[in-house]
Structure 1
């Protein structure tokens, strides 16, 4: 099958392809104008990193990968954003809509009725972070 275009000839198509070939094969950032490039950190500023110390919270008690961290993640994954800010009833309705498992529903049922929670972390702390 011959690649071509009804408006151009084969020679012009090849020339146009070569014209943009370097753009598609060049390293990231080489296409951008200079003003698009991020500036390096200043002399008195720390280097920018994706995660401080490069650990992403791992091996920290209660952090990512710990039993408590995984339990908090599971708890929060069944609470929709639209539930916040909300009280115990709003969180329960959101969790029910997301088909939360029994352990998450029990934790939500243990929340105080008269308090409004701004986010999942507040609700988690109110259940004493894993003791319920």
Structure 2
């Protein structure tokens, strides 16, 4: 008999192995309640987690800007936006895109910034 310092009893350990057998054999979740299973990533989801902002997809750009500029007081100038993006650890690619904006303009919303970054 093995006497270790495990957190679980032998019976509980066997129960957990039994619960995982279906998952391990089939390669996909086997629960009947779908809300237990994590939702897979959709093909058309923006590439938010990679830090890349595809310049040809306006919606992804606007989403990424909105995620990092949420609760930013508008109207704002380019310097204010860059400062907020750096404070919130936005991807460098996104900060660089905002840094290329004209410095004399005032932006009234995330939509204005996204339109200007995307090419007007």
TM-score by length of 1: 0.44
The structure showing larger relative contact order (alpha-carbon pairs under 8 Å, at least 6 residues apart) is 2
